[in-house]
Chains A and B, each alone.
Chain A
Amino acid sequence: MSEVNMEAKPNLDRRDFLTKSSIGLAGLAIAPGMMLFDLAHGRAQNEAASNKVRWGMLIDNNKCETGCNDCVTACNTENGLSGGTKPTDSQWIRKVQLKDTFTGRVSSLPMMCQHCENPPCVDVCPTQASFKRADGIVLVDKHICIGCRYCVMACPYQARSFVHEAITDQKTEVPRGKGTVESCTLCVHRIDKGETTACAAACTKAGHNAILFGDLNDPASEISKRIRAVTSTQIRADLGLNTGVRYEGI
C-alpha cells in the first residue's frame, strides 16, 4: 500500500535523496532523544513489531484491592473466556491472596503470564508454537500447537491453560480452540492498535491504578521512570527469566 515508486522520480539521485531526507529527519527531532512523534507507540498497522520496544507491566501490590476482581472480569470479557475456575477452565489472569503469617498483612495481586525475556515455555515447545514476539510478548501460535502441554508444565507461574472442549462464539480478535494451549496475550490485539491491556484499563477505571502498562525499553515511559524510582520485584527472580511483569510492594 505504502510502497514508494522510485521510478516515478527519476531525477532523485542517491546523494540528493540522502541530503533531503536528513533535513527532514532533523526537523522531526526537537532535541536529542526527543522526537515530534513517538516511535515506540506509533507503530503503523502494517509494520512489524520491533525489538526496540519491550512491553511490560508494573503491578502495585499496595494499591491492588483485596476482593476486587475487575482485572479478571475485564480479561474474561475482552478475550471471550468463560470465567469458570474449574481445573479445566482457561484462566489467563487470576487474583492471588497473600498473607504474611508474621505481621498478619493480607494483600492480593493479579497473576498472569509474566512475559519473560527467557521464557521456559518457548524453550520446551517441540513445535515452536510457543514463541516470543520481537516486542517481548510471549504467545502461542495455535496453528502449529499440538497440545502436548510441555509449556504448561514448564511455566513456573502456572500461567498457561489447555482448552479441553470445543469452543463457540470466540471473539474475532482472539481465536481460541480445543486442543491448544493458551495464556495471557498481553492483549496483543489492543497493543497493536496502540491501546493498553484490558486489565490495566479496568484497574484504572476502578480507580485503583495498580496496573501500569508500558514500554520497558523507553526510558521516558511512565513504567520505566517508576521502576527506576521504586523497588520492584520479579516473582521467582532466582530463575533469571527477566519477567516483563514486575510487582511493587510484595
Chain B
Amino acid sequence: MARLIRTEKEVEGRFEEVWIVVEEDPLEQWPEGPLTVVGRDAQRKDGHERVRGEARYTADLKLPGMLHAAVLRSPHAHAKVRRIDLEPALALPGVRAAIGPGEAHGLEEEAGFAGAAVAAVAADTFAQARAAADAIEIEWEELEVVLDPDDAVRREIFTAEPRRYERGDVEKAFAGADVVVEATYRTQTVLHNSLETHQAMCEWQGDTLHVYISTQFIWGIRQSVADTLGLPEDKVRVVCEFMGGGFGSKNSPDEYTYAAAELAKRTGRPVRCALTRREENTSAGNRNATIQRLRAGARSDGTIVALEGEFTNSVGWSGWNASTEGPMRMLYDCENVQTVTYGAQLNTPPMKAFRAPGFVEGTFGLECLIDELAAKLDVDPLDLRRRNYAGSNDGTPFSSKNLEECYRRAEPHWERRHEVHARSDAVWKRGVGMASQIWYGGGGPPSYAWVRLGSDGRATVITAMQDIGTGTRTAMAQIAAEELGIPLEHVDVALGDSARGPYASISAGSSTVPSMGPAVRAAAADAREQVEDIAEQREMPAGTPLEEIVAVLEESQILGKGARGPNPTGMSVLTFGVHVVEVAVDVETGEVQVERVAAIHDVGRIVNPLGASSQVEGGIIQGIGHTLSEERLLDPGTGAILTTSLDAYRMPTIADVPEIVCEFVDRPDEHLTNLGSKGLGEPPIVPIAAAIANAVRDATGADVHELPISREEMLRALREADARAREKEKRGAPAAV
C-alpha cells in the first residue's frame, strides 16, 4: 500500500524536507558477500556501444531541419547591457532568429561574470550562428568588480547568510588544551571539463517540448524546464541515453537549454545549443576556491578537545555555499566545535556541484591540520585518528560505519612507510601520508522501476534514469538478474527517456545505486512473485527455473513494479574510507610524484566490484589533478578567465597515474533499504588531496598549505622548511628532516 511520508532528503550534502509516497519495502536484504550476480565483476552492459563509438550522445544527435545556436557572452566580469541591437546578427546569412536579455531564462541584462550569457542566435550552421552572435551590437555599462573573497566577506557581500555551527565551548576547550595547532589552507578553483560539453537540442512537437540533453538528472530537467516555461511537466520530454561526463555540473538545464527551447519555438525547427570547450571553461561551473582558517586543540594524550574553522567559499556570482565545514563537524569525536562558513559572492563564474562539493576542500584542510597536530603531539597519525573516532554523528547514530575496519585494512599500507623512507635519496625524498573520508551517499526516495519479463525468459528493467558513465545500467541489470535468478545476459536496461519510464533519482551525490537499486530489486521481486504464482497454479515443482515457467506465457508478459523505500529515520547515512598515499618529491625541482595510493572504502554492499574499482580509480585520478596540476586562472585586474583551453587547464594524463590499490569493506548497511548499498561516485575523491599533502610533509618536512601543490608551491614550502631547520640549528636544537 502506498503511504505518504515526510522525510529528509539529501543531495550533495544539502538537506530538504519533502513529502514522498513510498510503497512497502518488505524484502529482506540479501546475505553479506558475493551472490550469484551481485557482488561479482560484470562487464558493462553498454560497453561495446561506447567503445565502438556506436553510443549516441546528445552531441551526436541530429534532427531534420536542425539549426545551431551560439551564445553571446559578456566579456566583462560585471556589467549591465545599456543598449543591445540584434539587427546586425539577423542580417547575416543563414540566421533564423536572435534573442536577447530576458527573452530566454539565463540570458540576462546584468552580467555578473565574464562569460555570462546575454544573447543567442540560431542559424543554419554553427559558424554562421557564431559569426552572427559576435555581430550583435552591445553597449555595456561596466560595474564594480569584486574578486577578492576576503574583501567580499569584509563587506558582507554574500550569496547567502553565513552559516554558523557550534557545539560545546570552544574557547574554554582551547584554553585547557595542551597543544594547539593553527593553519590557513587554500584550495583553488577547478573545472569539471566533462569531455562532452554542456548541450541540449530542443524541438517542439505540438505543445510538447522535446529536450535532448547531456544531463545527470532527467527528471530535474523536466521539472525545471516545465516550471520556467510554465508548462505542465508532462509536456516536457527529456531524453539522455548516453552522456559524456558531468561530475556534478550537469544537474540543471541552464541557459543553453532555454535558449535552444526559445529559438526552436521562434523558428519552428529543432535547435541545438552546445557549449564550446572555451565556454565550458568559462561558463559551465566549477569547484569553487576556498580559504580555511583552522585551529585544533588536544590534550597531550591525543584527545582532540576543540576544533574551530572559518571557511570562505568563493562561490562566484551565484551558486550555493557548500559544506566545506562538514568534515570538521562530522569526522571526529570532539565535544567542542565551532565553524562559520561564508559564501562570498564574487564576479566570477558560478560554482556548481563538483564531486563531493565542500567535503573535498574541507577534508584537505582538516586532514592536513590533523597531521600537523599529530606531529606536534608526536603521535602516530593513524593512532590519532583512531583515538578520536566518532561513534555518532553529533548524537545521531550512524546507519552503519566501518571506518575502523578501513583503518585496520590500512595498517599494512601504513606500515610500508619505513621501507618507503628508506628508498629516499639526496634528490627524491619519499614519504607516506593518510587521510580519512566522510561523505554522504545514502540516496533516497522517490525512485521507481518496472521490470518486464517475456516468455523467452528475458527481462527488461525500465526506468527513466540516466547512466552518466558510472555503470548504472550494469548495476541495475545485476540487481534484477540476481532477484529474478536469471543470467545477467538476459537482462536489458531501458533508460534515458522521461516519456518511457517512471521517475528516477538524480545521478549526483553518489545516489544512483542506493536510490535506484532498491527500486529495481523491488520491481524484479514483484515480477518474480508473479512468476512463482504462475508456477504454483501450474503445479510446477519448487525450484523450476524461471525460463521454464515463463515459457508458457506466449505473448503475455509479467510486469513488475518497484519503488525505493524510505531511509531509516533518526540515523545518519554516510560513507567512509581512508587513503594511504606514497609520494616522491624532487627537492631540487619541486616535482611531486604520487607513486602509490591504497584506497579502502566503506560504502555498504558492492554490486559490481569491477565497476566500483573503476569509480575509485577515476576519483583518485581526478583528485590527483586537483592536488597537483589543475587550476582555473583569472586575470586579477578584470576577472576574465585565462585558462579556457585544455593546454592551459591541465588534467592528468595516463602518464600521471600511480599504482592504485582498491579495497572495499563490502558490508551491507543493514538499516538502508533492501540492498544495503551506498554510493561510490564521490567518496574516492574526498581524501586524496590531504593524503598527498600529508605524504609530502612526511617526505620533506615541508608544510604545503595550498592547492595545487605546483612546483611553485612545493619549492616555496621547501624553502620555508629549510629556513625553519636552519633557525632551529642556530638555536642548538637538532635539525628537522
Chains A and B belong together in one complex: no
Binding site for A on B (CB under 8 A): none
